[in-house]
Amino acid sequence: MLATGVLGAADDPWIRWDWIAGHIPVIRDALTQHIELTLIAVGIGFLIALPLGLIAWRTRRLRGPIFSITGILYTVPSLALFALLIPFTGLTILTAEIGLVSYTLLILIRNIVVGMDAVPQEVREAALGMGYRPLAELFRIDIPLAVPAIMAGIRIATVTTIGLVTVTALIGEGGLGSLILDGLIRDFKTPLVVGTLLSIALAIIADVGLAGLQRLVTPWSRGRVMSGISLLAAAVIALPIGITLGHFGRGGNLAINVSNVGRAIPSFAILVLAVQLVGIGALPAFLALVALGVPPILTNSYVGMREVDPEVREAATGMGMRQRLILWRIELPIALPLIMAGVRTSAVNIVATATLAALVAWGGLGRFIVDGLSQRDYAQLFAGALLVALLSTAVELGLAAAQRLATSEGLRIQKYPLEAEVVPTPQAMIA
């Protein structure tokens, strides 16, 4: 008897690849159903939890009852809950979803309340001083700043639900749990192992994906991502303009003058003007940092293209190369050191200036500096400044290494300095 059990069958390997190859549609359908059950449960759970969480946050006397009811639902064993529901809803997906949704509520509501409580009071006071009405403050200030905690709750609820979905196989709606149940019933290891491993993999992928989504929707909590996005936007704007003007040799004075004017506008002034137009949050800080990052990249890309030796262009033309090939295979490789020097200058400027974003509720490392200054907590202020300096140094060294790798050996010798932004020569200005 024991020799034929699921775990004791000596002649039953843990994985039979021929069975997997012959049951790909079955595995695919089980995985699809597992994902659908999870998405429905977490989605409906969030729609229920968000208003309940806001009520619990706003009304203290209702917080206890809401937590108590959802806590009771969370502690009821899943099998018992399904058994109680079956007489009313039958062996249906509705029974499965009612149980799965009930297990998400406590996690989501608790994180919503914690996230809303964590919004700094001075930010709310600043919004009030700017004339925000309560509803506008809720949706434009409170909820966006509470997103990290809310997303953490969604991640926990999603991973928990993925595990619980397997139990719903007992009522015929189990997704990957149906493979596990099939393996147990037939004393067959392969479907059991496949269902278990896919459930684990799905949970890991979901958690990593939601973590990435959290980083995208909460740039104010990560100074390096904020700086990276701003630098990327500045490069997307400046590089095509600088390279095009440099290639055709037109508009040089205009490019340099616009660049210099951009440098002269204080980033803090841009930040304040943007706040007046779009309110506090991510957008004004993003606009200020992009405006700061464009000039060095624009100047260096233009000058780098103009200072390519004309004889090299003429030689390439004489060899029959078209203008597009000359641009991509001759001019850009030669101008790359100067272009990268501009990118490095912009990157360091953006990382250092991103601390100002904390003044408009887009935190990053500047949060430590602003909070330390307002609270006279000089240890916190120094820690924030040190972290910014270390991050700037790391960015500079990383881009310098990337520049050296991308630059050909002949150009490294001394034709273009790798460590500094260039000053355009008179010839480049006139060309």
Quote the CATH superfamily of domain 2-217: MetI-like (1.10.3720.10)
Question: What sign for the dihedral angle of Cα 19, 24, 29, 32?
Answer: positive
What are phi and psi for residue 9, nearest 5 degrees? -70, 110
Three-class SS state of 394: helix
- Report DSSP state, residue 328: I
| Burial grade of 35 (CB within 10 A; 0-12, 13-18, 19 or more) | middle
**Other CB atoms within 10 A of residue 332 CB:** 18
Segments making up each domain of the chain, as ranges: 2-217, 220-430
Tell me the pLDDT of the chain (431 aa) as tens digits: 333 444 444 466 788 888 888 888 988 888 998 999 999 999 999 999 999 999 988 888 888 888 888 888 888 777 677 778 788 877 788 888 888 888 889 889 988 888 888 777 766 776 677 677 778 777 777 787 788 788 888 988 999 888 888 888 877 777 888 888 888 888 888 888 888 899 999 989 988 888 777 766 654 444 556 677 778 888 888 888 888 887 777 766 676 676 666 666 666 666 666 666 666 656 777 777 787 788 888 888 888 887 777 777 667 677 767 767 777 777 777 778 888 888 888 888 777 777 666 665 555 666 566 556 556 666 666 666 677 677 777 777 887 787 777 666 655 554 444 444 444 444 444 44
Spatial distance between the Cα atoms of 108 and 158, rounded to a whole number of angstroms: 10
Contact in structure between 383 and 375 (CB atoms under 8 Å): no
Q: Which parts of 218-251 fold into alpha helices (H)? A: 223-248
| Burial grade of 179 (CB within 10 A; 0-12, 13-18, 19 or more) | buried
User: Would 2-217 and 220-430 be classified into the same CATH topology?
Assistant: yes
The residues near 255 (Cβ < 8 Å, ≥ 6 apart) are 241, 242, 245, 298, 299, 302
Tell me which fold the domain 220-430 belongs to.
MetI-like fold (1.10.3720)
